Amino acid sequence: MIQNWFQKFLAAGAIIAGTWGFSGAKETEISLEVGTQNYGHTRLLQDGSVKVSGCALNYTTMSLDALRTQPKKFDVVEVDILPFLSQLAAGESQNYTLIPVFLLREFPLRDLWIRTDRGIKGPADLRGKRVGVDGCGASGATWIRKFLESSATVKTEDITWVDVSTGPPPHKTLVELIQSGKVDAMIHPGTPNDVSGIVRLFPNYAQLEQELFKMSRVFPRHGPGGKV
């Protein structure tokens, strides 16, 4: 079992090398179960157009939430980095070793969505409102909360956070909550499908993100990394 684990650890490194065009010596192929979200920049690995030396990839794409519920199925899996590091710092047992592969790296301000009928015109209007999140400790949600505190003086306790990842099933999705009006805003990665009356709080997010980078010289790594 130790040898098998070590082989899979080396094979995960080969995934990175394969995407960069490096090749290694011929060896017996190791079968790897790989799970990530569906990205354009991993598509060639997904469909097998790009081969990884020494590895046969069985590639599965699904949402980060779905990946979170079945981590033991995969040899290499995408993970939300902040919860993983929080568990590691707390001394919780880890079945995976984190590798520095950031499949998603962006400013999360674009992910803050509001209902247009709740009188929300700017960050300060979020005081007293209900905001949906998928995991209060998720990397993106944590970054946005700290941004609101530092840039708009909106304290975390000024907002009621509705976490769809907690409580007994069945869990409502963020889109279901905001559609039904049970939350006034939500932190939702990507553009929600088939939702009317929902807009970004920061429609000029690209300009704002550029300004933030010029001031801080920090490009957030809030998105998921890989683990093996």
Nearest 5°: phi and psi at 35? -130, 125
Q: What is the pLDDT of residue 218?
A: 76
Question: What DSSP designation does 38 have?
Answer: -
CATH number at 203 reads 3.40.190.10
Is 133 in a helix, a strand, or coil? strand
Cα–Cα distance between 88 and 75 in angstroms, integer?
19
- Angle (CA) 32 33 37, round 5°: 130
- Angle (CA) 161 98 44, round 5°: 95
Cα–Cα distance between 110 and 201 in angstroms, integer?
8
Q: What is the pLDDT of residue 48?
A: 92
What are the pLDDT digits (tens) for 183-226?
999 999 888 887 889 999 999 998 988 888 888 887 765 444 55
Q: What is the pLDDT of residue 12?
A: 52
Peptide bond into 170 cis (omega under 30): yes
Residues of the chain with pLDDT under 50: 1-7, 9-10, 16-17, 19-25, 222-224
Q: What is the pLDDT of residue 222?
A: 47
Residue that finishes a domain, picked among 79, 97, 123: 79
Cα–Cα distance between 62 and 6 in angstroms, integer?
26
| Residue 84 belongs to some domain of the structure | no
Relative to beta strand 76-79, strand 30-36 is: parallel
Residues 43 and 129 in one domain: no
Is 8:54 a contact under the CB 8 Å cutoff?
no
What are the pLDDT digits (tens) for 160-171?
999 998 877 778
Residue that finishes a domain, picked among 63, 79, 95: 79
| Residue 226 belongs to some domain of the structure | no
Residue 102, H or E segment:
none
Residues 71 and 141 in one domain: no
| Residue 102 belongs to some domain of the structure | no
Residues 39 and 129 in one domain: no
Residues 129 and 200 in one domain: yes
Residues 112 and 186 in one domain: yes
Residues 120 and 172 in one domain: yes
| Residue 10 belongs to some domain of the structure | yes
| Residue 86 belongs to some domain of the structure | no
Question: What DSSP designation does 13 have?
Answer: H
| Residue 16 belongs to some domain of the structure | yes
Q: What is the pLDDT of residue 10?
A: 46
Range of the domain at 69: 2-79
Residues 125 and 166 in one domain: yes
Cα–Cα distance between 27 and 53 in angstroms, integer?
8
Q: Structural domain tally of the chain?
A: 2
Residues 40 and 113 in one domain: no
Residue that finishes a domain, picked among 31, 62, 79: 79
Is 148:154 a contact under the CB 8 Å cutoff?
yes
Give the CA distances from residue 21 to residues 24, 102, 105, 201, in Å, rounded to whole numbers and listed in that order: 10, 18, 22, 41
- Model pTM score: 0.68
| Residue 95 belongs to some domain of the structure | no
